[in-house]
Chains A and B, each alone.
Chain A
Amino acid sequence: MFDWSAITQNSHLIWSGVLITLEYTVITSLIGLVIGLIVALMQLTSNKIVVVIGRLFVEFFRNIPLLVWLLWAYYALPIFMGINISKEAAGILALSLYGAAYFAEIFRAGIQSIDSGQSDAAVALGMSYRQMNVRVILPQALRRMIPPLAGQMIIQLKNTTLLAVITVPDLLYQAEYIASFTYRPLEVYTTIALVFLAILVPLTYIARRLEQKEVKS
């Protein structure tokens, strides 16, 4: 029933798909983390306009399905802006901003979970807003944020499969491609499901360990 030659003969395509998937996960997570931190800090300032802008960013990206936003970034944005945008750029843009909205919520919740006495003590010593965040608030908040951040990165990795829709050659795209000329969807999709499991199970395990460590401390 199974004919694994469809996989063995095209393993190079699967490998390149794995690399593309990991590459997009890392790049969009990093960009998302940076933007997310900025958006979180925006929501924590006393300037009401800045707070609202940060809030709007989060609600905008959290309430549009990623697939819709991805297609919009690829097909509508170029027309809208009158620019040419490659599928890679559209994919990175969509996934980064979408991830940033969720990272921002994790950062905001993490920072707000730090007792206000900590900022009182930092301010009373004469620290600036930046010093207070760098020396006192963020080091404590980051520790609490590691488990949810790890969880969000796992979701980010799974979300990269949507890139296949705009023909970025990620793991799912390669699977579709191989299936289209070998006519062996059973073997191909089983294989990439197993590849995702092989990547994500260890990551999930690490994330859970971090969570347990956090609960203990």
Chain B
Amino acid sequence: MSSETQAAPTTPAISVEDIRLSYGEAQVLSGVDLTVNRGDVVALIGSSGSGKTTLLRCLNLLAKPSHGKISLSGDPFFHFDNGKDELGLSAAQTNAIRSRIGMVFQQFNLFPHMKVLANVMEGPKTVKGEAHSTNRDRAMSYLKKVGMADFADRSPSSLSGGQKQRVSIARALNMEPEVMLFDEPTSALDPELVGEVLSTMIELAKEGMTMIVVTHELGFALEVANRVVFLDQGTVCADGPPSDILMNPPNERVKGFVNRFHQTAEMMKPFIKSE
């Protein structure tokens, strides 16, 4: 944990104000406000095209909004007023902010030309210039935490999807981020491999890591998240505790979305029983 985390426990981990982003004519985000407090586990849900992945990518500026403000632990790092940069951060300052935010991708995006351990050590080595031995010890402890210590000398291509995703979580953690972003971390996995990744994430959540998770796993949202944010057509359509949002949808859009999942579950029942 970094020093500012302890110094200011009440400042939000991430706060987002009126974020707007369009690709050509299509407005993907049309004014999103979101405040994520330290220790929050936020499940970001919504149908495809609702802008949830784009919103997540905006949080570490992998996507650049045309308007809005974003700050990390009270440090503003993005402020555009209708396309005009009000903050003028240098590329180096933006990179420094990114290094404090961990990200886990749907397709893992491990570096295929490096072994597992080198993947996990790469961030602190290249970005922070950290000493090899401290870096290695911490990297190994994170690999152990995600259950991948025995695979340290393996090549990423020899791993299963679930193993790759656990390594990529360790890679993000080894930067000791203040916030972890997860972009549909289990969507590319075979069903039997989803559990090992979710259990790693549950463990992280229990330890108080601030997490923002774009997910289709409503079960995860219900059981692990302490907050569900439902995005629809580029705006926050519902925001609250999972049980409220998922069990008693506050409006028709959420109801329609949640019902589709319940219906799928109902439809599956006869097949599950017949086995």
A complexed with B? yes
B123 in the interface (beta carbon within 8 A) = yes
Among the 9-residue stretches A93-101, A125-133, A173-181, the one with 4 or more Cβ atoms under 8 Å from chain B is: A125-133
Q: Are A124 and B92 in contact (CB under 8 A)?
A: no
Residues 50 to 69 of chain A near chain B (Cβ within 8 Å): none
Q: Are A126 and B127 in contact (CB under 8 A)?
A: yes
Q: Are A123 and B98 in contact (CB under 8 A)?
A: yes
Q: Tell me how many residues of A have a C-beta within 8 Å of chain B.
A: 18
Q: How many A-B residue pairs have CB under 8 A?
A: 64
Among the 9-residue stretches A9-17, A135-143, A183-191, the one with 4 or more Cβ atoms under 8 Å from chain B is: A135-143
CB distance from A29 to the nearest CB of B (A): 25
B70 in the interface (beta carbon within 8 A) = no
CA distance A194 to B150 in the complex (A): 56
Give chain A's interface secondary structure class: helix
CA distance A123 to B62 in the complex (A): 8
Q: Are A140 and B99 in contact (CB under 8 A)?
A: no
Residues 52 to 81 of chain B near chain A (Cβ within 8 Å): 60, 62
CA distance A102 to B111 in the complex (A): 28
From the candidates B96, B112, B113, B171, name the one contacting A126 in the complex (CB within 8 A): B96
CB distance from A63 to the nearest CB of B (A): 33
B101 in the interface (beta carbon within 8 A) = yes
Neighbouring B residues of A128 by C-beta, 8 Å: 91-92, 95
Residues 86 to 144 of chain B near chain A (Cβ within 8 Å): 91-92, 95-103, 105, 107-113, 122-123, 126-127
Q: A123-B98, A124-B62, A126-B98 are in contact. Are A117 and B123 (CB under 8 A)?
A: no
B44 in the interface (beta carbon within 8 A) = no
CA distance A139 to B95 in the complex (A): 21
B170 in the interface (beta carbon within 8 A) = no
Q: Are A118 and B111 in contact (CB under 8 A)?
A: yes
CB distance from B115 to the nearest CB of A (A): 13
Nearest chain A residue, comparing its CB with the CB of B125: A135
B175 in the interface (beta carbon within 8 A) = yes
CA distance A115 to B108 in the complex (A): 12
CB distance from A160 to the nearest CB of B (A): 34
From the candidates B105, B112, B127, name the one contacting A140 in the complex (CB within 8 A): B112
A120 in the interface (beta carbon within 8 A) = yes
From the candidates B109, B112, B113, B175, name the one contacting A120 in the complex (CB within 8 A): B109
CB distance from B59 to the nearest CB of A (A): 10
A-B residue pairs, 4 tightest by C-beta: A126-B99, A121-B109, A117-B109, A124-B103
Task: List residues of B whose CB falls within 8 A of some A CB.
Answer: 60, 62, 91-92, 95-103, 105, 107-113, 122-123, 126-127, 168, 171-172, 175
| Contact sample, A vs B, 19 pairs, CB 8 Å cutoff | A115-B107, A117-B109, A120-B103, A121-B103, A121-B109, A121-B110, A124-B62, A124-B101, A125-B98, A125-B126, A125-B175, A126-B95, A126-B100, A127-B123, A127-B127, A128-B92, A131-B126, A131-B127, A135-B122
